[in-house]
Amino acid sequence: MANNDRTVKVICGRCDGTKQIAGFRHVSNGDCFACNATGYVLITERENARREATHDITESQRIRAEWISNATLTQVESLSWKQLVNTQAFSLWPIAGYPNLHADWQKNIGPTFYKMQDIEHSTLYSGKEG
């Protein structure tokens, strides 16, 4: 950052201002490292303009994040193994406006995922010597 660049205080894009990342409570009690658990970061005005231009998530991302956040057991049990894996992968990415997406995944989808994972692995490795 050049000395003449003015800075602005903005909400942290990693934790969405919550100061913590729910999916990482096992690391430093979930404190966000991006903002040092303050909920905000200082960036240049130029960087802020770039962020604002790209901050909006796509409609597809919003729909997927909402589904993960509100999925019922019946909905989750109707998914194929591949779909379950895809929901997990999606939940690990930081999505603006959904700082607790992976925690929601763990709560709503995780139990079914882990049960199916055991079934998939036992089918895949049945009869094979280690």
pLDDT of residue 126: 73
- Mean pLDDT over 125-129 rounds to 65
Torsion angles phi and psi, residue 12, rounded to 5:
-60, 130
The answer to whether the pTM exceeds 0.85 is no
pLDDT of residue 27: 82
Rounded Cα distance, 80 and 10, in Å:
40
Residue 83 has pLDDT above 60, yes or no: yes
Per residue in 45-66, pLDDT tens? 887 776 665 556 888 888 999 9
Residues in the chain: 130
Q: How confident is the model at residue 90 (pLDDT cuts 50, 70, 90)?
A: very high
